[in-house]
Amino acid sequence: MTLLDGKATSNTIKDELTVAVAARKEAGKKIPHLAAVLVGNDGASMTYVNSKVKACERVGYKSTLITLDASTSEEQLLSEIASLNANSDIDGFIVQLPLPKHIDEQKILLAIDPAKDVDGFHPMNVGKMALNLPTFLPATPYGILELLKRYQVETSGQHVVVIGRSHIVGEPMSILLAQKRAQGNATVTLTHSRTKNLKAITLQADIIVAALGIPEFLTGDMVKQGVTIIDVGITRVEDDSKKRGYRLAGDVDFASVSPKASFITPVPGGVGPMTIAMLLKNTLQACENRD
């Protein structure tokens, strides 16, 4: 069993980005600048956004964090987005999801300038992604492709089972892995909450991407020997033995699945850090596109 070490791999990518930024600086070019908008005070979202800002510092980017009250209106958020679109110093920005219930997520994503949409969530960029045209790939699926690439996990002709059809992970992941591309050419089955007899399907999988958000859902009896496991889940589970009162659990029961796996991502330290590294990569791309 080989651990797909997202922490180490993301550090390698960040080192590569640091070199690229230093070269830009040396050449008198603009330093990439990422902005993040956080609405409300959800604990997990605050952690993620802070990690994104910290990662910018690490590679030498400029970053701007905009925190808005949970009661912020849709109109106020749209006006914030309009000013980020217009700000020529900002190369890319993200609006952290989920948003409070009173805000229409699609309306917000549609307002982001597609050229600055480094999350790849704008419908125009989703369309380009689906057509395999150059665009910003959503950071989590992009990070998974990169991890598979750097560990030379074969995807061509393999049966990939994706569990979960979210717009952020499952859906784009299923599209990308089926495409004619380096980490693609897979036979993909996209499964979800209405799927019947899921276990019969996961038992046929060469690669499983678990992205449903239910802690320790995938167990050893559901996978075949030699499977590759990508665990996207990261849920806070109450745990009084921890100082902070919770532990982080993936969608995979690591204890029962890992003995059967040839490759597996840990949680934490697997997909999570890769997501941040690829967001930084997209931000550099956005900056280069504007040169």
Which residues have CB under 8 Å from 129's CB, separation 6+? 120, 135, 137, 138, 172, 175, 176
Is-catalytic flag, 240? no
- Contact window for ligand GUN (CB under 6 A) among 26-34, 60-68, 93-101, 172-180: 93-101
Q: Is 10 in the site for ligand GUN (CB under 6 A)?
A: no
Contact 222, 202 (CB under 8 A): yes
Instruction: Considering the complex, state which of residue 198 and residue 270 has its C-beta at the smaller distance from ligand GUN.
Output: 270
> Which residue of 140, 155, 265, 282 would you call a contact of ligand GUN, by CB under 6 A?
140
Instruction: Considering the complex, state which of residue 93 and residue 217 has its C-beta at the smaller distance from ligand GUN.
Output: 93
- Contact window for ligand GUN (CB under 6 A) among 25-33, 88-96, 102-110, 155-163: 88-96
User: What tokens appear for 164 in the block?
Assistant: 């979960």
Which residues have CB under 8 Å from 171's CB, separation 6+? 165, 190
Q: Is 275 in the site for ligand GUN (CB under 6 A)?
A: yes
Tell me the closest approach of the beta carbon of residue 214 to ligand GUN, in angstroms: 16
Is-catalytic flag, 119? yes
- Contact window for ligand GUN (CB under 6 A) among 95-103, 157-165, 242-250, 261-269: 95-103
Catalytic site residue from 14, 52, 116, 281:
52
> Which residue of 162, 168, 261, 286 would you call a contact of ligand GUN, by CB under 6 A?
168
How far from 41 is each of 46, 86, 162, CA to CA, in Å?
6, 26, 30
> Which residue of 10, 63, 72, 96 would you call a contact of ligand GUN, by CB under 6 A?
96
- Cα 264 from Cα 4, distance rounded (Å): 6
Contact 138, 168 (CB under 8 A): yes
- Contact window for ligand GUN (CB under 6 A) among 12-20, 91-99, 195-203, 210-218: 91-99
Q: Is 282 in the site for ligand GUN (CB under 6 A)?
A: no
User: What tokens appear for 212 in the block?
Assistant: 């449903």
Tell me the closest approach of the beta carbon of residue 265 to ligand GUN, in angstroms: 16
Q: Is 119 in the site for ligand GUN (CB under 6 A)?
A: yes
Catalytic site residue from 91, 117, 119, 253:
119
Contact 37, 68 (CB under 8 A): yes
Q: Is 72 in the site for ligand GUN (CB under 6 A)?
A: no
Q: Is 223 in the site for ligand GUN (CB under 6 A)?
A: no
Instruction: Name the residues that contact ligand GUN, by CB under 6 A.
Output: 94-97, 119, 139-140, 168, 275
- Catalytic positions, written as ranges: 52, 96, 119
